[in-house]
């Protein structure tokens, strides 16, 4: 990889996250941490507003941006592939937004890149979500973003009905099945619920804030330790 390309990717990685460690950046760029430190110092010397230090992490100051760059043929094909593969698994609102985004990108590509992207011989002819699951998934996704608590009536694999008040943390796709990862106030622990087994879903007015031990990061740490 040319150094100019690596520096551009480094900027994109840093501005795409709240905080990026040198170890994370080195792994993503497939270079040594020493190279990351040297590249960050070079960017800072050129006026790129990167804050942070070795051993702590780096972030981009607000307001910094780069001029748009054109997609390569492979990048354009990757975008088309991502939309085609994910379309059947997304709720109708998000699937529509993905299609609209792609429709904005393809017309501005140079003719060879656009032709290569549109002729990509990769498809996902799978059945989509049922209307009920699609609607629930959209509401769960919105509640996760707005941090509203939910009241669920849920039917487990043994067909036992329960009612729960939960803090929605993330929607997770496991092949054909979507689940909601949450903090359950009844069990006072993390619980996951299959979206297709949620019978009723009510978005409550009450919002929640992150509390130690009850966040998505806490859940991910628990799962990675198993």
* Mean pLDDT within 137-144: 96
* Mean pLDDT within 79-94: 90
Beta strands 50-53 and 57-60 are antiparallel
| pLDDT tens readout for residues 206-219 | 999 999 999 999 99
Strand partners, 20: 58
Per-residue pLDDT at 48: 86
* Mean pLDDT within 110-133: 86
Cα–Cα distance measured from residue 100 to residue 89, given in angstroms and rounded to the nearest whole number: 16
For domain 3-60, the question of CATH label 3.40.50.2000 is answered with: no
What confidence category does residue 70 fall into, taking pLDDT thresholds of 50, 70 and 90?
A: low
DSSP 107: G
Dihedral sign for Cα atoms in the order 101, 30, 175, 80: positive
* 6 token code pair: 């690596």
C-beta separation of 7 from 43 below 8 A: yes
Crossing angle (nearest 10°) for helices 131-146 and 92-105? 80
| pLDDT tens readout for residues 185-205 | 999 999 999 999 999 999 999
Cα–Cα distance measured from residue 207 to residue 215, given in angstroms and rounded to the nearest whole number: 14
* Mean pLDDT within 75-102: 90
Around 57, how many Cα atoms within 13 Å sit in the side-chain half-sphere? 11
Cα–Cα distance measured from residue 115 to residue 49, given in angstroms and rounded to the nearest whole number: 38
Per-residue pLDDT at 67: 55
| pLDDT tens readout for residues 147-189 | 999 999 999 989 999 999 999 999 999 988 999 999 999 999 9
For domain 131-225, the question of CATH label 1.10.540 is answered with: no
* 191 token code pair: 């619980």
Per-residue pLDDT at 113: 86
With 0-12 / 13-18 / 19 or more C-beta atoms within 10 angstroms meaning exposed / middle / buried, residue 166 is buried
What confidence category does residue 66 fall into, taking pLDDT thresholds of 50, 70 and 90?
A: low
pTM of the model: 0.68
Q: What is the CA radius of gyration of the chain?
A: 22
How many Cβ atoms from other residues are within 10 Å of residue 181's Cβ? 20
DSSP 21: -
């Amino acid at each position: 990889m040319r150094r100019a390309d690596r520096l551009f990717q480094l900027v994109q990685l840093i501005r795409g996250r709240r905080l990026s460690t040198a170890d994370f950046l080195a792994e993503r760029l497939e270079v040594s941490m020493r190279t990351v430190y040297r590249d960050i110092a070079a960017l800072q010397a050129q006026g790129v507003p990167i804050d942070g230090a070795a051993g702590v992490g780096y972030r981009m100051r607000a307001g910094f941006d780069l001029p748009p760059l054109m997609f390569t043929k492979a990048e354009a094909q990757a975008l088309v592939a991502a939309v085609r593969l994910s379309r059947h698994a997304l709720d109708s609102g998000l699937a529509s937004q993905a299609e609209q985004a792609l429709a904005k990108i393809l017309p501005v590509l140079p003719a060879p890149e656009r032709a290569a992207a549109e002729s990509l011989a990769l498809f996902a002819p799978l059945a989509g979500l049922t209307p009920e699951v699609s609607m629930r998934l959209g509401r769960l996704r919105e509640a996760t973003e707005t941090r509203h608590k939910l009241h669920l009536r849920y039917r487990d694999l043994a067909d036992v009905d329960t009612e729960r008040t939960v803090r929605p943390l993330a929607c997770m796709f496991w092949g054909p099945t979507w689940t909601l990862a949450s903090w359950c106030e009844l069990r006072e622990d993390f619980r996951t619920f299959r979206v297709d087994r949620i019978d009723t879903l009510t978005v409550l007015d009450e919002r929640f804030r992150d509390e130690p031990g009850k966040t998505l990061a806490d859940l991910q740490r628990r799962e990675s330790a198993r």
